[in-house]
Amino acid sequence: MNNNIKNKKASLLLLLTLFISFVSILFFLLYTPISKFTSDDPYPEISTLIPSKIIEFGGSPTTVHVGLYIRDIPTFDILNSRFILDAIVLFKFDHRQISLDRIGKFKFDRARIIEQSKPQTKIEGHNLIARYDMKLELNTSLSFKFFPLDDHRVNISITNYSLTPSEVVFSSSMEDLTLNPDLRIAGWEVIDKMVKTGFLTDKTYSDEKKSGDIHNPRVIFSLDFANIGIRHLMTLLIPLLIIFLISTITFTFDPTDTSANIVSTSIATITALIAYKFVIESMSPKTGYLMLSDNFFLYIFFGCITIFIFNLFSNIINGFYKNIITATLYIIYTILFIYSLYPLLS
């Protein structure tokens, strides 16, 4: 009788060994995504202005140097892709070639101006320097495909829709994008920046249905924000792993005396997963596509469902096969996690 009971129970030592091995492999895989910058954020449209293009546009464009200084970011809401910037925009140009009124018609793309001062101007030789103190709300496009392992590139795009590249060419460099050295954002760190100038092309259609292009000078200032904490990752992942461990341990219960307890424990793990999904949703961005966190949850959820189904027949399944089932699940999990994390490992 005792041998028969043992034959119906999985090996606890084996299950714990499989769990520890899987967790070790998982955190080894997570090391690279955690330690390097990972972003899949879309980049605003911009075309590089090369000499042949300038000739094609015609005219003799005036070079306008553009600078951006960020004093503060009082609102940094990654989950809702919403940022409030306290910034200074600088333009330096030959005032004999282009008027300040026309330069002042610049726009921040995907942004709402909260406050904007009148331009403060200064003359340096033939150049006029115009400074605008601004507070703006930026609603940029971010990708959360790799949440909670995602870092983000926030793009600040300035376009002048009243000018063309035949009149004005924007010029800027990395030195023209500066941040307040005392700027601190909890959980995030600026690790890099990028500046790109060029022009935006808009397709238009006339009444005769003939297509035409409108070109406007554009400059894009980009800041790379790295997530310097792993709180979200640990909060999301560890409870899922513990719930799955409890689910697999039901294979080690004696099905002769505790058959009902085995099934009820399996149901409890599934219920706990469903309840925990609401916690995950509360700390996740709202998207219309599956994120990495959703994949992690679904893997564990279907694993617990599989164990529940086998537990319904625990009285007739040999302990050896329960060991095989558990080992197979961990092998499948390892393959699935490698597949999900592969874009971040290359």
pLDDT confidence band for 232 (50 / 70 / 90): confident
> Is 44 part of any domain?
no
Range 7-14 average pLDDT: 84
Do 12 and 68 lie in one domain? The reply is no
Do 77 and 210 lie in one domain? The reply is yes
Residues 325 and 322: their CA atoms lie apart, in Å, by 5
In total, the chain counts a number of residues equal to 346
Q: What is the DSSP letter of 185?
A: B
Do 256 and 270 lie in one domain? The reply is yes
Percent of the chain at pLDDT above 70? 95
- Note the pLDDT of residue 49: 82
- Note the pLDDT of residue 318: 87
> Is 45 part of any domain?
no
Do 162 and 101 lie in one domain? The reply is yes
Q: What is the DSSP letter of 285?
A: -
Last residue of a domain, one of 192, 227, 262: 227
Least confident of 34-48, 84-98, 208-222: 208-222
> Is 94 part of any domain?
yes
Residues 168 and 60: their CA atoms lie apart, in Å, by 8
CA distances (Å), origin 25, targets 44, 187, 338: 37, 26, 10
Least confident of 159-163, 183-187, 336-340: 183-187
Least confident of 68-77, 110-119, 250-259: 250-259
The number of helix segments (H) and strand segments (E) in the chain equals: 8, 11
- Note the pLDDT of residue 206: 47
Last residue of a domain, one of 185, 212, 227: 227
Using CA atoms of 34, 36, 39, 43 in order, give the dihedral in degrees to the nearest 10: 170
Do 250 and 206 lie in one domain? The reply is no
- Note the pLDDT of residue 1: 44
Residue 16: which domain range? 2-35+231-345
Percent of residues in the chain assigned helix, strand, coil, to nearest 5:
40, 30, 30
> Is 302 part of any domain?
yes
Do 57 and 171 lie in one domain? The reply is yes
> Is 170 part of any domain?
yes
**Cα-flanking dihedrals φ and ψ of residue 34, to 5°?**
-70, -35
Residues 321 and 315: their CA atoms lie apart, in Å, by 12
> Is 173 part of any domain?
yes
Nearest C-alpha neighbor of 166 from the set 65, 47, 53, 67 = 53
**Structure token pair of residue 234:** 């640990």
> Is 42 part of any domain?
no
CA distances (Å), origin 44, targets 71, 153, 220, 285: 23, 11, 8, 21
pLDDT at 205 > cutoff 70: no
Q: Are 309 and 262 in contact (CB under 8 A)?
A: no
Do 236 and 338 lie in one domain? The reply is yes
Do 86 and 196 lie in one domain? The reply is yes
pLDDT confidence band for 315 (50 / 70 / 90): confident
Do 186 and 105 lie in one domain? The reply is yes
- Note the pLDDT of residue 316: 85
CATH of the domain at 253: 1.20.58
Do 142 and 191 lie in one domain? The reply is yes
Range 308-324 average pLDDT: 90
Residues 148 and 334: their CA atoms lie apart, in Å, by 19
> Is 121 part of any domain?
yes
Cα-to-chain-centroid distance, residue 241: 23
Q: Which long-range contacts (CB under 8 A, 24 or more apart) does 103-106 make?
A: 103/64, 103/130, 103/160, 103/163, 103/168, 104/130, 104/132, 105/160, 105/161, 105/162, 105/163, 106/158, 106/159, 106/160
Q: What is the mean pLDDT of the chain?
A: 90
pLDDT at 304 > cutoff 90: yes
Number of domains in the chain: 2
pLDDT at 58 > cutoff 50: yes
Last residue of a domain, one of 176, 210, 227: 227
CATH of the domain at 160: 2.70.170.10
- Note the pLDDT of residue 84: 96
pLDDT at 325 > cutoff 80: yes
Percent of the chain at pLDDT above 90? 72
Do 308 and 327 lie in one domain? The reply is yes
Do 106 and 220 lie in one domain? The reply is yes
pLDDT at 259 > cutoff 70: yes
CA-based diameter of the chain, in Å? Answer: 101
Cα-to-chain-centroid distance, residue 219: 23
